Amino acid sequence: MSLQELQQKALAIPGLEQKLAHLKRSIETAEREKHNAARIHAKEQQDVERLENTSLTSFIFKLVGQYDNKLEKEQQDEIHAKLAYDKAVTHLAVLQEERTDTLNRLSELRNYEIQYEKELRTRRNLLSISDDEKGQAFLVLEKQIAEIITQQTEVAEANSVANKALNTANRVLKSLDSAEGWATFDLFVKGGILTHMAKYSHIDEAEETLHTLAAQMQELQEELGDIHGMDVGNLDGLQGISGGQRFVDFWFDNIFTDWSVKSKIGNNADEVKQIANNLRRIQSALNTRQQELTRELSRLQKKEEALVSQFNPHA
């Protein structure tokens, strides 16, 4: 492997070490958020259990006939707490997976770093012995090259996260498309409990995948922080299909609630499509920046090669 190839691998290490330190802090925060969400969810579950002292048949009759507002509120709070817990669990899992990938890459790069430092010591010694002025020029070039490679690492990391987020957004859209198809069928055919189950199965699938997308978008926003001020939006505009909305749709099935659910599915799909378009634009900008950095790196490496080639002990 050439000196330049060893150098590129070795100089990518600081950027990954910095990312690893950031991931450590993020994981600690995510673990606390998961713990708090679990505690809140457990409390809400207890509140619901205290109110549910009747059989299932009596419970359903009570809901249809009297619609106990207190129990409905407790159930909705429990559902929202469960969704918050699921989101916290997914966020933590995404961060832990990213940490594992980063550790594996660092382990591989450190082996190359050892080779690079050995070769570099030989060449630096020869340069300093032969010509002090050329030795100083070599060190200046090294610093410039290190800066370029650090930027390349940052851009590559951001592009990797953007690609993951785009794949996740496409999975969300696929689930929402299926849910919208069932919602349309339910609206005009009135398929009953089976179509409700099919519709909400795909909504639940989309909602779970949205948790992953939210975590990836947050990670991408942090990765882009130092790259030309690029920024991404968040998921605040996405509407959820709440537990209360689902309950009303199921027990009091009518055209108004069916239209409402179908409308929310469509609105969510539009939001995710906009996010996907933004991700593609970000990827395009990152690719352009990476090409510029590659050209600059090549120019500097040619200068360095010309400077040290006469001192290369392996030539």
Q: Which has more confidence, 109 or 44?
A: 109
Both tokens assigned to 181: 């198809």
133: pLDDT strictly greater than 90: no
- Res 163 pLDDT > 80: yes
> What pLDDT does residue 183 have?
59
Q: Which has more pLDDT, 230 or 41?
A: 41
| Residue ranges of domains in the chain | 3-311
Distance between CA atoms of residues 289 and 291, nearest Å: 5
Residue 295: pLDDT over 90 = yes
> What type of residue is 126?
L
Long-range contacts of 149-152, Cβ-Cβ distance < 8 Å, separation of 24 or more: 149/7, 149/8, 149/11, 149/12, 149/297, 150/11, 150/14, 150/15, 151/227, 151/293, 152/8, 152/12, 152/290, 152/293, 152/294, 152/297
What mean pLDDT is reported for the chain?
A: 75
Backbone φ/ψ region at 312: left (φ over 0), alpha (ψ -120 to 50), beta: beta
Tell me which residue of 287, 283, 278, 289 sits closest to 228, measured CA to CA: 289
238: which DSSP letter? Answer: P
Tokens coding 293: 């950095």
> pLDDT (tens digit, 9 = 90+) per residue, 5-51?
888 888 889 888 888 998 999 999 999 999 999 988 888 777 666 65
pLDDT by residue (tens digit) across 183-226?
A: 555 555 565 555 555 666 677 777 778 888 888 888 888 888 76
* Residue-level pLDDT at 103: 92
Please state the rounded mean pLDDT for residues 291-302: 89
Percentage of the residues of the chain whose pLDDT score is greater than 90: 12
pTM check: above 0.85: no
